[in-house]
Structure 1
Amino acid sequence: MWDFNIGQALGLLGRTLPFVLLRAAVYFGITLAYILATGAGIGVGWGVGAFGDDEFRATAMAWGGIAGFGLTGAVMYWLREYILYIVKAGHVAVLVELIDGKPLPEGRGQIAHATAVVKGRFGQASLLFALDQLVKGVIRAVIGLVRGVLSILPIPYVRQLMGIVQAFLRVAVGFIDEVILAHAIRTRSTDPWGSAREALVLYGQNWKAMLRNAAWLTLFTYGLAFLIFLVMLAPAAALVYVMPGAWSAGGFVFALLFAWSVKAAFLEPFAVTCLMQVYFRITDGQEPDPEWDARLEQMSSHFRKLKERAGARFGTARDGEAA
């Protein structure tokens, strides 16, 4: 079974309600932006289509909707660094302090406090984003190692199912990069590269427990997201119906967007909180294993880049825990 405490995780999320609401505002705002931009594009296409026949109008509306959706996606891609910096890392920062039993400001003061903590650990958003990308690269290498282990086990049809297993593993580790960032915040390290290196080695030497819990959380979060998607199909289809020309695929896309926003706003922080519980518990008192450090260096170019930027030894430049 799993090693996390669901009740405690929900309690921690309740105590960080300002961040939960911030996440909801951000991700539901993104969904609304997609809907409005797509609808506006369809509307423009409908107007342009007045200069031609019905087939021309339908084509113009389709391209207008695609253009609106694509433009919004491009803007969101550009903003992803700042979403990570302000929303995700900030929420992780306050969760770390709550797990360690430290007091937090109430209300909106939590967000200002978390922003100061993240800025103190990582500096600019670009550094945190670069670090996060390297961490994800190392985690993908660990997935490759796990896939290799599974492929040689005497499990019936494992080779035929390897594509599904690989896809599941990729989803299952989607939350772990935030746990790695949590380690840097928790250790009060002023060397984020060295702290991430240490955290990844600790993750590697405990990969079985981490992946087992991540797998359970993947089933929970994506199962609930799928149910939300099914529930939202009808109202999303109704929304599309009132748009000019009633874009046929719109109901599916908008329901998918809403399910994604619920997952990102509520289900993902729950999963990250649970994984933080597991990671902190199983790594408490452990030292990074030099063999795992060497193994990660050998199989991941991202880990080698991380080591180049890190200090010469583990745990460099720690300030010690704040009082």
Structure 2
Amino acid sequence: MWDFDIGRTLGIMARTWPFIALRLVVYFAITLAYILATGTGAGVGYGLGRIWDDPGMFALFGGFIGFGLVSAVLYWLREYILYLVKAGHVAVIVHLVEGREVPEGRGQIDYATSLVRARFAEASVLFVVDQLIKGVLRVVTGLIGGIANALPIPGLQAAAGFANSVIRISLTYVDEIILGYNIREGADDPFDGARRGLVLYAQNGGRMVKNAVWLALFMWLIALVIFLLMLGPAAAVLYLMPGALAGWSFALAIVFAWAIKAALLEPFAIAALMQVYFRTIEGQVPDPDWDRKLSDASRHFRELKDRAASAFGGRPAGQTP
């Protein structure tokens, strides 16, 4: 079974309600942008299509273009969403998991922002660290080795290929856990903090992946239910738009489900995994063998080490001159 406390996790969620509200505003604003851009694109396409006597097809392509434009804008804004929304929420969760007091209301967001700025001077630094962590996590599953057959989840032992796929999906929120470790430790260099956090995660991979898999299964089951519930409202919205956009109800329902998942379910998973991670690594130091394994297997991990070393004058972080 899992090692996190569901009641405590919900309590942490409740205490970070300013960030939950912020996430709801941000992600539903993104959903609204998708709706407006898809509708506008469909409307323009429908109007142009009447010239060529095929308004339905032009409306479909116009909706596709509008959807794609919003996706492109979000791609370029992703590091600022990470910096202003996700990282701040992670910082508050870290303090609550550690039993510290945090401000309530709007002051909580200002407090968290100051923590993130103290740790990562610029959004670009945090974004680079986050991307390198994601790159390392892609090889962690293989290095843990054999974990699929050892997971105490009925049915997974006989389907190692499926289990490994589930494990890869379960690593979705681990970059936030490593970010939380970085904020908690307050090391001199965020790249070296990420390196140590990843080594500690890998050397405790069995326990961490077990909990991550349970959370992933819960999350995607709930997300599927939300998606099915959103099909009706999405179809109703698209019914009001010009042209044959019925097929877009599926895509729009996915966007609705994604917004709810990002705003409510992701913070739950992060708070739950963070409890397990901090409890598991208590009193531990990074294992040099795992450091070497990650260095051999991942160029992203080697880049983390190189950036950390350059921050310390070319010597390995943690060593005295």
User: Normalization by structure 1: what TM-score?
Assistant: 0.91
Which of the residues 70, 80, 91 maps onto 1:82? Answer: 80
Cα-to-partner distance string for 1:185-236 (whole Å, 9 max, x where unaligned): 0012231111111101100100000100000000111100100111111121
- Measured after TM superposition, the shift of residue 3 of structure 1 is 0.4
In structure 2, what is the equivalent of residue 177 of structure 1?
175
- Measured after TM superposition, the shift of residue 250 of structure 1 is 1.6
- Note if 1:112 corresponds to 2:128: no
- Measured after TM superposition, the shift of residue 167 of structure 1 is 2.8
Q: For the residues of structure 2 that align with 1:140 and 1:27, how far apart are their CA atoms? A: 26
In structure 2, what is the equivalent of residue 320 of structure 1?
none
Q: For the residues of structure 1 that align with 2:233 and 2:244, how far apart are their CA atoms? A: 13
Structure 1 92/302 Cα, relative in aligned 2: closer, same or farther at 3 Å? same
In structure 1, what is the equivalent of residue 143 of structure 2?
145
Q: For the residues of structure 1 that align with 2:28 and 2:319, how far apart are their CA atoms? A: 40
Q: For the residues of structure 2 that align with 1:160 and 1:250, how far apart are their CA atoms? A: 38
Cα-to-partner distance string for 1:245-264 (whole Å, 9 max, x where unaligned): 24021211111111111110
Structure 1 5/314 Cα, relative in aligned 2: closer, same or farther at 3 Å? farther
Give the 5 Å matches for 1:37-186: 37-53=37-53, 56-146=54-144, 149=146, 161=159, 163-186=161-184
Q: For the residues of structure 1 that align with 2:184 and 2:59, how far apart are their CA atoms? A: 51
Cα-to-partner distance string for 1:31-56 (whole Å, 9 max, x where unaligned): 11111100110011111122121xx2
Say which SS state the counterpart of residue 38 (structure 2) adopts: helix
In structure 1, what is the equivalent of residue 312 of structure 2?
none
- Note if 1:310 corresponds to 2:305: no
Cα-to-partner distance string for 1:121-166 (whole Å, 9 max, x where unaligned): 01100010000111111111112324x536899xxx9999555334
Q: Is the 8 A contact 2:148 2:164 kept in 1?
A: no
Q: For the residues of structure 2 that align with 1:63 and 1:316, how far apart are their CA atoms? A: 58
Q: For the residues of structure 1 that align with 2:113 and 2:148, how far apart are their CA atoms? A: 43
Cα-to-partner distance string for 1:99-118 (whole Å, 9 max, x where unaligned): 11222111111111111110
Matched to 1:218, the amino acid is: A
Say which SS state the counterpart of residue 174 (structure 1) adopts: helix
Q: Is the 8 A contact 2:97 2:271 kept in 1?
A: no
Matched to 1:275, the amino acid is: L
Say which SS state the counterpart of residue 146 (structure 2) adopts: helix
In structure 2, what is the equivalent of residue 240 of structure 1?
238
- Note if 1:214 corresponds to 2:212: yes
Q: Is the 8 A contact 2:16 2:93 kept in 1?
A: yes
Q: Which runs of 5+ in 2 are unaligned?
A: 310-314
Q: For the residues of structure 1 that align with 2:148 and 2:169, how far apart are their CA atoms? A: 19
Higher deviation after alignment, 18-27 or 238-247: 238-247
Q: For the residues of structure 1 that align with 2:73 and 2:160, how far apart are their CA atoms? A: 35
Matched to 1:101, the amino acid is: G
- Measured after TM superposition, the shift of residue 98 of structure 1 is 1.3
Q: Is the 8 A contact 1:189 1:315 kept in 2?
A: no
Q: Provide the identity percentage.
A: 53
- Measured after TM superposition, the shift of residue 315 of structure 1 is 5.4
- Measured after TM superposition, the shift of residue 16 of structure 1 is 0.6
In structure 2, what is the equivalent of residue 18 of structure 1?
18
Say which SS state the counterpart of residue 245 (structure 2) adopts: coil
Say which SS state the counterpart of residue 184 (structure 1) adopts: helix
In structure 1, what is the equivalent of residue 293 of structure 2?
295
In structure 2, what is the equivalent of residue 9 of structure 1?
9
In structure 2, what is the equivalent of residue 189 of structure 1?
187
Structure 1 223/278 Cα, relative in aligned 2: closer, same or farther at 3 Å? same
Q: Is the 8 A contact 1:191 1:316 kept in 2?
A: no
Say which SS state the counterpart of residue 175 (structure 1) adopts: helix
Cα-to-partner distance string for 1:9-62 (whole Å, 9 max, x where unaligned): 110011010001111111111111111100110011111122121xx2122111
Structure 1 237/138 Cα, relative in aligned 2: closer, same or farther at 3 Å? same
Q: How many residues align?
A: 311
Matched to 1:149, the amino acid is: G
Q: Is the 8 A contact 1:82 1:125 kept in 2?
A: yes
Q: Is the 8 A contact 1:150 1:158 kept in 2?
A: no
Say which SS state the counterpart of residue 50 (structure 2) adopts: helix
In structure 2, what is the equivalent of residue 31 of structure 1?
31
Pairwise CA RMSD:
2.1
Say which SS state the counterpart of residue 173 (structure 1) adopts: helix
Structure 1 9/151 Cα, relative in aligned 2: closer, same or farther at 3 Å? closer
Q: Which runs of 5+ in 1 are unaligned?
A: 318-323
